[in-house]
């Protein structure tokens, strides 16, 4: 053997040995994938171009553009079989950094993967689920089916991979689940989380999407901790849909003295509402329902506007809140405002009473109240148990008869009761109530 051949022989032996060592000791590809996860924002209820949007949390600038997909648990899954290789969460700016490992391939092997959302809020306040398999059974409402995951395919490189703004949905194809997550996230982050009581009690809400067999315009069931969103159209109208329904859950959790499951949207609640299952901002309503619908909407309004907002709106549509007031679109300023039919039973008037209490604008002489969101929760938390009437006491089940078999006081647990209870705790909101058409409750 000449020297050259000898050298080749030794080299190949070495190479064989090295290969053997690497095959035995390092058998997994692994790495870190980072980026900013986005979704295509196509929800309505924003403050439009041309309006004074100071104090608005959601404006035309964010509409029909990719926006950060915030506070979501996300997974790196292998494309071939959806095996989970790693998991993490996006932060409030959509940023994520996930460590992953795939033991089925060699150390230097890129892996076809996807960045997947399975419906989970990062902090566990809510999950998005599919439709209830047996709708109409109520209560309790059975769990919904798993959603079809949102997926963004990519190649996971061993080492570090930067993903350049992967986006769920597009202008051509809405991602309704992503929008629902965003609406629910904002309701939590920008409204309900302001209450310590909510931070303590509001966990694991299941938002079922999409199903209109239980309720045709979305609904909430307190004791089952479920919100049902009826349609993909409703996913584009957060203020009066997912946010409003989460507001009902917050209303339910505001007081744990309930002896009945959530009276707002159950089979027994058919006689609760003057209009059956359906109301609008201008409809005369039993005060019990008027109070409940107004306060649920109020929490949603807070999610979209700061107390110093110049032109806040509460609306139901899939685009900008229009300028012209209507039965589904109400400007919350200015006060006093009895522009809606001058009834003390109208839902929209009660909503405006709440806004007038919350806002930091001085709308008229003597108006000094600017109460934080959590005050409403805290006042309601002091309602007594029971179904009787009582000035200044307020009963959580006042609408119901003693046996809770039927409603015997359709104007019970009203806006007037809230006012009275608040007064007993030391805050006078009489001017604000009068300025917004009063209350037909007792």
The residue among 42 and 415 lying less far from Zn ion, judged by its C-beta, is 415
Q: How far is the CB of 240 from Zn ion (least distance, A)?
A: 8
Is there a cis peptide before residue 334, judged by omega within 30 degrees of 0?
Answer: yes
Residues in contact with 144: Cβ distance below 8 Å, sequence separation at least 6, in sequence order: 129, 130, 131, 132, 133, 206, 208, 209, 211, 226
Residue 93: CB atoms within 10 A of its CB come to 11
The residue among 152 and 234 lying less far from Zn ion, judged by its C-beta, is 234
Q: How far is the CB of 248 from Zn ion (least distance, A)?
A: 5
> Is residue 228 within 8 Å of residue 219, measured between CB atoms?
yes
b/e code 1-10 from CB counts within 10 Å (16+ = b): eeeeeeeeee
Q: Which of residues 254-293 bind Zn ion (CB under 5 A)?
A: 293
Query: 3-state class of 117 per DSSP?
Result: strand
The residue among 293 and 397 lying less far from Zn ion, judged by its C-beta, is 293
Q: How far is the CB of 263 from Zn ion (least distance, A)?
A: 12
The residue among 113 and 249 lying less far from Zn ion, judged by its C-beta, is 249
Q: Which of residues 131-160 bind Zn ion (CB under 5 A)?
A: none
**Rounded-to-integer distance, Cα 268 and Cα 326, Å:** 30
Q: How far is the CB of 219 from Zn ion (least distance, A)?
A: 7
The residue among 296 and 373 lying less far from Zn ion, judged by its C-beta, is 296
The residue among 35 and 247 lying less far from Zn ion, judged by its C-beta, is 247
Type and span of the H or E element at 394? none
Q: Parallel, antiparallel, or unpaired: how do β-strands 29-36 and 72-78 relate?
A: unpaired
Residue recorded with tokens 């309790």: 140
Q: How far is the CB of 320 from Zn ion (least distance, A)?
A: 22
The residue among 73 and 244 lying less far from Zn ion, judged by its C-beta, is 244
C-alpha of 65 from chain center: 20
What is the pattern of x (binds Zn ion, CB under 5 A) and - over residues 292-311?
-x--x---------------
| Cα dihedral across residues 306, 331, 283, 435: positive or negative | positive
Q: How far is the CB of 121 from Zn ion (least distance, A)?
A: 22
| Cα dihedral across residues 83, 87, 93, 95: positive or negative | negative
Token code pair at residue 166: 């992967």
Q: Which of residues 203-242 bind Zn ion (CB under 5 A)?
A: none
What is the pattern of x (binds Zn ion, CB under 5 A) and - over residues 349-378?
------------------------------
**Rounded-to-integer distance, Cα 258 and Cα 221, Å:** 13
The residue among 174 and 414 lying less far from Zn ion, judged by its C-beta, is 414
The residue among 230 and 293 lying less far from Zn ion, judged by its C-beta, is 293
From the number of C-beta atoms within 10 Å of its C-beta (0-12, 13-18, 19+), residue 419 rates as buried
Q: What are the beta bridge partners of residue 346?
A: 284
Q: How far is the CB of 314 from Zn ion (least distance, A)?
A: 12
Q: How far is the CB of 237 from Zn ion (least distance, A)?
A: 13
**Rounded-to-integer distance, Cα 66 and Cα 41, Å:** 6
Q: How far is the CB of 34 from Zn ion (least distance, A)?
A: 40
φ/ψ of 45, rounded to 5, equals 75, 25
Is there a cis peptide before residue 175, judged by omega within 30 degrees of 0?
Answer: no
Size of the site for Zn ion (CB under 5 A): 2
The residue among 89 and 330 lying less far from Zn ion, judged by its C-beta, is 330
b/e code 237-254 from CB counts within 10 Å (16+ = b): bbbbbbbbbbbbbbbbbb
Q: How far is the CB of 295 from Zn ion (least distance, A)?
A: 10
Residue recorded with tokens 């996930």: 98
Q: Which residues contact Zn ion (rule: CB under 5 A)?
A: 293, 296
């Amino acid at each position: 053997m000449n020297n050259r051949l000898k050298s080749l022989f030794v080299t190949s032996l070495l190479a064989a040995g090295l290969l053997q060592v690497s095959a035995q000791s390092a058998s997994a590809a692994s790495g870190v994938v980072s980026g900013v996860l986005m979704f295509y924002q196509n929800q309505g209820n924003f403050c439009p171009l041309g309006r004074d949007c100071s104090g608005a949390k959601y404006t035309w600038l964010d509409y029909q553009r990719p926006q950060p997909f915030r506070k979501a648990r996300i997974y790196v899954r292998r494309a071939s079989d959806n095996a989970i290789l790693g998991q993490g969460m996006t932060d409030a700016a959509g940023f994520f950094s996930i460590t992953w490992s795939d033991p089925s391939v060699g150390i230097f092997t890129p892996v076809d993967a996807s960045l997947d959302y399975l419906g989970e809020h990062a902090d566990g306040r809510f999950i998005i689920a599919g439709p209830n398999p047996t709708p109409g059974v109520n209560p309790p409402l059975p769990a919904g089916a798993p959603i079809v995951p949102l997926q963004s395919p990519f190649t996971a490189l061993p080492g570090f991979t930067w993903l350049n703004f992967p986006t769920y949905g597009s202008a051509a194809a809405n991602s309704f689940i992503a929008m629902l997550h965003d609406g629910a996230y904002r309701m939590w982050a920008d409204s309900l989380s302001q209450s310590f009581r909510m931070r303590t009690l509001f966990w694991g809400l299941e938002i079922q999407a999409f199903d209109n067999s239980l309720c045709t315009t979305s609904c909430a069931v307190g004791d089952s901790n479920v919100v049902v969103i009826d349609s993909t159209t409703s996913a584009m109208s957060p203020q009066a849909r997912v946010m409003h329904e989460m507001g009902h859950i917050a209303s339910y959790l505001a007081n744990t003295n309930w002896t009945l499951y959530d009276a707002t949207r159950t089979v027994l609640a058919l006689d609760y509402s003057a209009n059956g299952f359906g109301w609008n901002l201008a409809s005369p309503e039993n005060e019990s329902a008027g109070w409940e619908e107004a306060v649920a909407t109020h929490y949603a309004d807070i999610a979209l506007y700061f107390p110093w907002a110049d032109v806040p709106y509460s609306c139901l549509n899939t685009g900008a809140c229009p300028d012209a007031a209507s039965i589904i679109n109400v400007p919350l300023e200015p006060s006093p405002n009895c522009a809606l039919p001058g009834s003390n039973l109208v839902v929209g008037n009660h909503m405006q009473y709440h806004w007038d209490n919350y806002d930091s604008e001085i709308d008229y002489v003597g108006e000094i109240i600017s109460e934080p969101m959590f005050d409403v929760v805290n006042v309601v938390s002091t309602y007594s148990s029971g179904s009787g009437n009582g000035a200044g006491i307020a009963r959580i089940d006042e609408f119901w008869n003693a046996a809770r078999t039927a409603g015997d006081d359709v104007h019970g647990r009203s806006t007037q009761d809230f006012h009275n209870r608040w007064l007993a705790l030391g805050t006078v909101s009489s001017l604000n109530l009068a300025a917004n058409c009063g209350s037909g409750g007792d």
